[in-house]
Every structure is written in structure tokens, then in C-alpha cells.
């Protein structure tokens, strides 16, 4: 297949480009490099002996999109491009609604004009808000607590409504749980700007000596050790989930959501201990107050993805912490 990947130079996008190359697909990446560098794609090229065509540009640039769709006969689009920092979204909601919601609408307009109506969209477990029970299935009530979450929920709604209005759309909404890890080569991985918001990049920056200690946000949650529980999923499993969705889309009617998680919940301290044990490196931490907006626990029932897409996560917690550390220790300053 020939596939347009928006945001393909980013963390999850670059691993997915690699996976698609290995599966023999042709890839064109559109990315404005607002949170990434072309170095990731260069390294994917080295690992796969295949170069994705790269176009530097913005998904909100409709003229550019129309030109790209005229020049290439795409079979599908995988849409990663977007902003993802929850705190920043509270401070600058306008940026998030414009980039994530308006950008997705511009993209879908250009797709429809070109008759390319297979779309895989990066959604998030954040659309479940604070779930009433666990594990989470796709039919749980949807809600959001910040503009980032709302932007994902809004794009999901745009997709569902589009698919009702025009039965030619075939859309997979992939709700990721907590993506972590890196390609096993240690050549590509997550390269956050500034201070990481997320747990795993923070742990690995403490381990490599860039930060003094990890703040564990709360140890009084109703979980097995009091710290927050999440469903961490290896980024290569996630990348393969996109491949599975891409392969299934021609058979799918309308718009469907799929949870991509492992179904296992690990606490913050579980992850710290696994990281220390597997990598033989200390991760100093202290208990800090809860982070506003955090929930106690969140993990998936990924049965629908298994039954329908034929996909399950296969990589373990040890794989996640080992590959995170390989990437971080080989590239202490990321791609810089």
C-alpha cells in the first residue's frame, strides 16, 4: 500500500514508519517538525534500507495537502500529527483546537476531495476520563478533563459523524494507553523537549544523570502500593497495531474505536523497580503531592483489537524498560 503518515517524524510515527517499511509498504511523511527532527527518519532509513519520502509542511495547509494528494495515489492515511502536552493545552487551548481539531478537519477534507477515505487516527485512553471501572472497553462513556483530551474527543466525533454522512469512510480510532520504550536497536526513541511530562522519559533522564530524582506524584491512591497504575505499551507493539488496523480497514465499515494496550496495570513504583533491576542502574525518587488531573488507575481490555484486528501486545515490561534505557543511554541528548 501507499500510505501518507502525518506526524511521521515523531515518536510513535517514526516507529510506525519503520514497521510499515518492514512490511513492504510505501510511505510519504508529512510533518512540520514542531516536535521532532528529520534525524529520526534518517535513522529509520538506515535501519530498513528504505527511505520514506519526507515533506516538511503543516496539516492545516490545505493547498499543500491538495497538492500532495494530487501527486500521490494513496491507499490510506495514518494521522499522528498533533500537539500532546496536557499542561500546555490548558494554557493555550486555542493552539490545541486549531492544530489538533482544525488540522484533522483540513486533512479529512483533502482526503475526501481526493477520494482517499481510509484513515487511522491517533486517539488516546484520555477519552475515557476517570473510568468508573476497570479494565476499560471501547463502549465506556467518553469524557475529557483538559483541552488536549477534548481535542481527541472532538476529532473522534468528527470521524464518527463523517462516517455516518458518507459510507465510503473507513476509519480506525486507535485509543493508545501509555506508549513507552523504543526500537530494540536503540537508534530511534522518544526525544522530549524540555522537562518530560511523562513517567518513562523522566525515569530514564534521572537514570542517565540529567535530572537528580523522580517525583512520584502521590502514594495514597487506592492501588496496590498507593502510586498511580497505568497500562504501559511498548511503542513497537503500538506500531504493529497501526499495521494491523491498516490491513483490516478495507474490510471495515464506517468508524470503529480500538483500545491498544496490554491489559496489564503497573504502578509508578513497579516501573521504577523494573527499570532499576533490568538495567542495573539506580533511579532515586521521592514521594511528591498528587499531580492535579491524574487518575488512580487506567488499563485496557484490548479484546476488540485482538478479535477484530488480530493484534495483541507481545512485549513485556522488561522489554519496555530495557529498550527505553538502551535508547536513552546511547543517545543522552536524544537526536541532538
Q: Catalogue the active-site residues.
A: 148
Binding letters toward ligand UFG, positions 207-246, x by CB under 6 A? -------xxxx----------x-x----------------
Q: What angle do CA 66, 84, 117 make, to 5 degrees?
A: 30
Residue 202 found at the interface with ligand UFG (CB under 6 A):
yes
Nearest to 57 by CA among 31, 34, 79, 27: 31
Q: Which three cell numbers stand for residue 333?
A: 541528548
**Per-residue DSSP letter, 8:** T
Place of cell 459523524: 161
* Spatial separation of the C-alpha atoms in residues 42 and 81, rounded to whole Å: 19
Q: Shortest approach of ligand UFG to residue 197 CB, angstroms?
A: 5
The residue range among 69-77, 121-129, 155-163, 315-323 that interacts with ligand UFG, by the rule CB under 6 A, is 121-129
> Quick one: 281 or 335, whose CB is closer to ligand NAD?
335
> Quick one: 10 or 218, whose CB is closer to ligand NAD?
10
Of 193, 291, 310, 318, the one binding ligand UFG (CB under 6 A) is: 291
Instruction: Give the phi and the psi of residue 287 in degrees, each rounded to 5.
Output: -80, 130
Q: Which residue is nearest to ligand UFG (CB)?
A: 228
Of 59, 207, 216, 272, the one binding ligand NAD (CB under 6 A) is: 59
Q: Shortest approach of ligand NAD to residue 282 CB, angstroms?
A: 25
Residue 9 found at the interface with ligand NAD (CB under 6 A):
yes
Interaction residues for ligand UFG, span 8-67 (CB under 6 A): none
Burial of 22 (0-12, 13-18, 19+ CB in 10 A): middle
Interaction residues for ligand NAD, span 154-183 (CB under 6 A): 176, 179
Of 4, 5, 7, 231, the one binding ligand NAD (CB under 6 A) is: 7
* Spatial separation of the C-alpha atoms in residues 5 and 225, rounded to whole Å: 40
- Catalogue the long-range contacts made by 305-312 (C-beta closer than 8 Å, 24 or more residues apart): 305/241, 305/244, 305/258, 305/259, 305/260, 308/248, 308/252, 308/256, 308/258, 309/241, 309/244, 309/245, 309/247, 309/248, 309/258, 310/244, 310/248, 311/240, 311/241, 311/244, 311/245, 311/260
Q: Which three cell numbers stand for residue 318?
A: 522488561
Q: Which does 2 bind (CB under 5 to 8 A by kind): ligand NAD, ligand UFG, none?
A: none
Interface residues with ligand NAD (CB under 6 A) are 6-7, 9-13, 31-36, 58-60, 80-84, 99, 103, 122, 124, 176, 179
Interface residues with ligand UFG (CB under 6 A) are 84, 86, 124-126, 176-178, 197-199, 202, 214-217, 228, 230, 268, 291, 294
Amino acid at each position: 500500500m501507499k500510505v501518507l503518515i502525518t506526524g511521521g517524524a515523531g515518536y510513535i510515527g517514526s516507529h510506525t514508519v519503520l514497521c510499515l517499511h518492514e512490511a513492504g509498504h510505501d510511505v510519504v511523511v508529512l510533518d512540520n517538525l514542531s516536535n521532532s527532527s528529520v534525524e529520526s527518519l534518517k535513522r529509520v532509513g538506515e535501519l530498513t534500507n528504505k527511505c520514506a519520502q519526507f515533506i516538511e509542511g503543516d496539516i492545516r495547509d490545505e493547498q499543500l495537502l491538495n497538492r500532495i494528494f494530487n501527486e500521490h495515489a494513496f491507499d490510506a492515511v495514518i494521522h499522528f500529527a498533533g500537539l500532546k502536552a496536557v499542561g500546555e493545552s490548558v494554557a493555550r487551548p486555542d493552539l490545541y483546537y486549531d492544530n489538533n481539531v482544525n488540522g484533522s478537519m483540513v486533512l479529512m477534507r483533502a482526503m475526501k476531495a481526493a477520494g482517499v477515505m481510509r484513515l487511522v487516527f491517533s486517539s488516546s485512553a484520555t477519552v475515557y476520563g476517570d473510568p468508573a471501572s476497570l479494565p476499560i472497553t471501547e463502549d465506556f462513556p467518553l469524557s475529557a478533563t483538559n483541552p488536549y483530551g477534548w481535542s481527541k474527543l472532538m476529532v473522534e466525533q468528527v470521524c464518527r459523524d463523517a462516517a455516518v454522512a458518507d459510507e465510503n469512510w473507513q476509519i480506525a480510532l486507535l485509543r493508545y494507553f501509555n506508549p513507552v520504550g523504543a526500537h530494540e536497536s536503540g537508534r530511534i526513541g522518544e526525544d522530549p523537549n524540555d522537562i518530560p511530562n511523562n513517567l518513562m522519559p523522566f525515569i530514564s533522564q534521572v537514570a542517565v544523570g540529567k535530572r537528580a530524582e523522580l517525583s512520584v506524584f502521590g502514594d495514597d491512591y487506592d492501588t496496590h502500593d498507593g502510586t498511580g497504575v497505568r497500562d504501559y505499551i511498548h511503542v513497537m507493539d503500538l506500531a504493529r497495531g497501526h499495521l494491523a488496523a491498516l490491513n483490516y480497514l478495507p474490510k471495515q465499515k464506517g468508524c470503529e474505536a480500538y483500545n491498544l494496550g496490554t491489559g496489564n496495570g503497573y504502578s509508578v513504583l513497579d516501573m521504577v523497580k523494573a527499570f532499576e533491576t533490568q538495567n542495573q542502574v539506580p533511579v532515586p525518587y521521592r514521594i511528591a503531592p498528587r499531580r492535579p488531573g491524574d487518575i488512580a488507575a487506567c488499563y485496557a481490555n484490548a479484546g476488540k483489537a485482538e478479535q477484530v484486528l488480530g493484534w495483541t501486545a507481545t512485549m513485556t515490561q522488561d522489554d519496555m524498560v530495557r529498550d527505553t534505557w538502551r535508547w536513552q543511554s546511547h543517545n543522552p541528548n536524544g537526536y541532538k
